[in-house]
Structure 1
Amino acid sequence: MRLAPVVILAFLFSGAWPLWAWGQPQVTADAAALMDADTGVFYYVKNGQQRRAPASLTKVMTAILALELADPEEEITVSRRAASVWAGSIIDLRANERIKLGELVKAALICSANDATVAIAEGVAGDHDTFVRWMNAKALLLGMVRTRFANTNGYSHPSHFSTAADLAYLARYAMRNPEFARLVQTRAATIHWVAPQRTMQIENTNQLLHENFPGITGVKTGTTSAAGQCLIAAVSQRGRHLISVVLHSDGRYWDTRRLLSWGMEVLRERTACVAGEYYTRLRVREGRLPDVPLVTDRALVVVLPAGEEGLLQKEVTLRAAPVAPVRFGTPLGEVVFTWRGQELGRVGLVAGREVERLPWHARFWRWQ
């Protein structure tokens, strides 16, 4: 049955505050974002939709796509193209070497190896450019509409860009993959080649891991002259999971510490509604009672910055008037909770009591 909005109950604030004005931390990054990884709600945004060079944050997409599409145990033969990559961090791949895909993904995520991403692309898709097209297709599937990739490693290119918001969405998605999540919080590892056999010790480029920032779980660094200092970071602490993104920062670790510490300090759980809470009444056709009370079918707890409870808005949407009988618990609408234009959650509205149908003769005389 189609829902039709009939009433909005809202706690509105007065005044024309700019978005994100309340008590926000100051960061040096030209673009930044802080997201709740559980809900996808942004609690801080600075130029979040501004297109910027992502540098090696690109490798988050390269790695998650490889993990989803191929077997980490598959052996890859290194091509001349992959072996010729020299700029930035590399693991010194050599033509015709054989190495497992999982080792290449490990190198891409932990030490940001640029040559590893080219070998990944060629091993998974057959050639580099096809894999890049797959990266762009995946970006669209994830709703990253302001992102375009031109390569697998983040080298600067006019057609290679993303946004702080898009990269937060990407990281949120990637962190749900257990192998990806394991790799990005690995401080140090060993890369193993199949043939000829050799090894290399690598360390994670994310300094927050090495300094044991409270609750840090990854994710990825990136740096080029065009992109500046970039960092996606994730923390899990006190039951809360946050993802931060800073792009073109003067001090990416300083900015990230401020964002994550601010989020952990000011974000608070609030009860939006309790189970069985009364909201409104809905007319009932041909019932012994003219209407039925609507109550919430469950409790809902949301997360808000301290002091912003007054910005919580509630929109109630009801179904068309039902025909009796109406049974207790019948779904008849929903209430959507939003904060600063973002949905925090929704709860069903159900009949709070039964409404029996009028006997046939009463219905007959009602229509006379």
Structure 2
Amino acid sequence: MKKLLILFFVIYLSSTPKIDVLAQSSQDQELQLKSEAAALLDTETNAVLYAKNADQRMYPASLTKIATAIYAIDKGDLDSIVQVSANAVRQDGTRVYLEEGEQVPLKKLIQGMLINSGNDAAVAIAEHIDGSVEKFSENINQYLQTVIGVKNTHFANPNGLFDENHYTTAMDLAIITNYAMKNPVFAEIFGTKELQWQGQSWQTQLYTHHLMLKGELPYPGITGGKTGYVTESKQTLATTVDNGNLKMTAVVLKSDLKKDKYDDTAMLFDYGTAHFQHASIKQGDIFKVDDKDFVPDHDLMITEEKDGAVKKVDENGLLSIENKSGQVLQQVQLTYKKPIVKKELPKKQTKESSSSSPLVYSAGGFGLILIAFIAILFGAGRKFNRNL
């Protein structure tokens, strides 16, 4: 099993300064994962903690709805009313049993889509935001590339029903989930275990399909999750956890059995908890390269291995956080600190320097002395004559 070196950019909280973060991972330890692809990221710093075939193009199934949800939250008005179309009602697979013409608040549809994986709700959202599924697909792909920064994803629909042109990677999905988790509305819905649903034709209690979040397969600290399955994608799963010291995001793709994806997720979280911790770099810290100084724009949280980390800065100010084996966990772009140039004050002028010529000054000074001496002699002479 060959691990990949991962390189990517991620956008941080909209309320904080933007940080360009690059991360890559290649652990010495092989985890015996049954899923074909997997990615484990630090949710807060975006450091890659583990990766298996993480850039391999795969089908996501309903994990697509993570992207649909954050796109709708970012672009739409959550209080706006969506009128459900016949096209939305006709969707196959899991639904919340919407009726044609039914009017539903956008936020409620996002809840039905994430918690109960409603394919009909996903299409209703797409048509409300962009007018059609086709236009939605065009716009969300641009959004994923330009706003979130993923490069290996192309979505043809909002719900993940199979399409050959509907694909992503474990790494891209983890990046998308990390971005989404920084939005409090998304994080709340993603972590909802149950919800009372009052629809036009369906009144029920919705329960999350994610067995770790639901508590049927207990794991401490689970904060959110989304399941997926279609024949072509097999079992897929996205999960977030907070162990009290570290928040992590795990994505596993193409597991043969439902149990496998949960076992793999638990194994990834165990690995992350055992090996990694947070540290900080202060705004005033200076990193020197040759005769250049580089500094962070603000205090930074970084992820490092518990047995130590090595910090290296290249000539362009790219800070790499490495483990003792030289494997890069995280990279952060620092800012060049321009040296302060001290201006030389002009020399204080003296009588000598202000005179046009030392010789002239000397002669002038001598003349004044001579005149004063003559005046003294003249005054003394007059006094002498009066005394006579």
> TM-score, length-normalised on structure 1?
0.75
Report what 1:238 is aligned to: 244
Cα deviation for residue 342 of structure 1 reads 5.2
Residue 220 of structure 1 deviates from its aligned partner by 1.3
How many angstroms apart in 1 are the aligned matches of 2:177 and 2:286? 36
2:71 is aligned with 1:65: yes
Describe how 1:1-368 pairs up with structure 2 within 5 A: 20-85=26-91, 87-141=92-146, 142-193=148-199, 196=200, 199-211=203-215, 212-250=218-256, 251-269=260-278, 279=288, 282=291, 302-307=302-307, 309=309, 312-317=310-315, 334=317, 336-339=319-322, 340-341=327-328, 343-345=330-332
- 8 Å contact kept, 2:294–2:334: no
Q: Offset at 1:314?
A: 0.8
Cα distance in 2 between the residues matched to 1:300 and 1:101: 36
For 2:127 and 2:343, how far apart are their aligned partners in 1? Answer: 68
Tell me how far apart the structure 1 counterparts of residues 329 and 64 of structure 2 sit (CA, whole Å). Answer: 27
Report if the CA contact (8 A) 2:174-2:250 is conserved: yes
Distance 1:116 1:234 in 2: 23
Q: Structure 1 residues 140, 345: closer, same or farther in 2, change over 3 A?
A: closer
Post-superposition CA distance 1:161-206 (Å, at most 9, x none): 000110011001111111110001010002233xx48633211011
Deviation at 1:355, TM superposition (A): 8.5
3-state SS of paired residue (1:76) = strand
Q: Which runs of 5+ in 1 are unaligned?
A: 1-17, 284-293, 319-333, 362-368
Give the direction of change, closer, same or farther, for the CA distance of 1:175–1:69 in structure 2 (3 Å limit).
same
Q: Compare the two structures and name the one with the higher helix fraction.
A: 2
Separation in 2, partners of 1:272, 1:64: 30
Shift of 1:302: 3.6
Question: Does the Cα contact within 8 Å between 1:24 and 1:44 map onto a contact in 2?
Answer: no
Question: 1:127 Cα deviation (Å)?
Answer: 1.5
The secondary structure found in structure 1 opposite 2:253 is strand
Tell me, in whole angstroms, the C-alpha distance in 2 between the residues paired with 1:64 and 1:143: 14
Indicate the larger mover: 262-271 or 174-183.
Answer: 262-271
Structure 2, unpaired ranges of 5+: 1-23, 348-388
Distance in 1 (CA, whole Å) between partners of 2:76 and 2:295 is: 45
CA contact (8 A) 1:272 1:300 kept: yes
Q: Is the 8 A contact 1:29 1:255 kept in 2?
A: yes
Q: Deviations 1:53-97 (Å, cap 9, x if unpaired)?
A: 000000011111111222222222211111111x32111112122
Q: Which residue of 2 aligns with 1:323?
A: none
Report if aligned partners of 2:320, 2:328 keep a CA contact under 8 Å in 1. no
Deviates more, 1:208-217 or 1:100-109: 208-217
- Which structure has more relative contact order (CA 8 Å, sep 6+)? It is 1
C-alpha displacement of 1:282: 3.5
Contact 2:97 2:202 survives alignment (8 Å): no
* Conserved? CA contact 1:221–1:231, under 8 Å: yes
**Higher strand fraction: Structure 1 or Structure 2?**
1
Specify the SS of the correspondent of 2:142: helix
SS at match of 2:248: strand
Identity of aligned residues (%): 29
Q: How many residues are treated as equivalent by the alignment?
A: 313
Letter in 1 for 2:203: T
**Cα contact 1:104–1:120 (8 A) shared by 2:** yes
How far apart are the structure 2 equivalents of 1:348 and 1:81? Answer: 51
The one-character-per-residue Cα deviations of 1:21-74 (angstroms, maximum 9, x if unpaired) are: 422422111000001112211111101110000000000111111112222222
Asked if the contact 2:287–2:313 (Cα under 8 Å) also holds between the matched residues in 1, the reply is no
Secondary structure in 2 matching 1:123? helix
TM-score by structure 2 length? 0.72
CA shift in 2, pair 1:42/1:219, >3 Å: same
Kept in 1, the 8 Å contact 2:113–2:121? The answer is yes
**SS in structure 1 of the partner of residue 104 of structure 2:** strand
Measure the CA separation in 2 of the matches of 1:94 and 1:276: 59
Contact between 2:225 and 2:239, CA under 8 Å: does it hold in 1? yes
Please list the CA deviations of residues 188-239 of structure 1 after superposition, one character each: whole Å capped at 9, or x if unmatched. Answer: 002233xx48633211011111225222111311111111111111112223
Greater C-alpha radius of gyration:
2
Superimposed CA distance per residue, residues 287-334 of structure 1 (whole angstroms, 9 cap, x where no aligned partner): xxxxxxx6978987642234463xx3512538xxxxxxxxxxxxxxx5
Q: Map Cα deviations across residues 100-136 of structure 1 (whole Å, 9 max, x no partner).
A: 2111110100011111111111122122211111111
Residues 278 and 61 of structure 1: is their aligned pair in 2 closer, same or farther, counting only changes over 3 Å?
A: closer
- Measured in 2, the distance between the counterparts of 1:225 and 1:245 equals 18
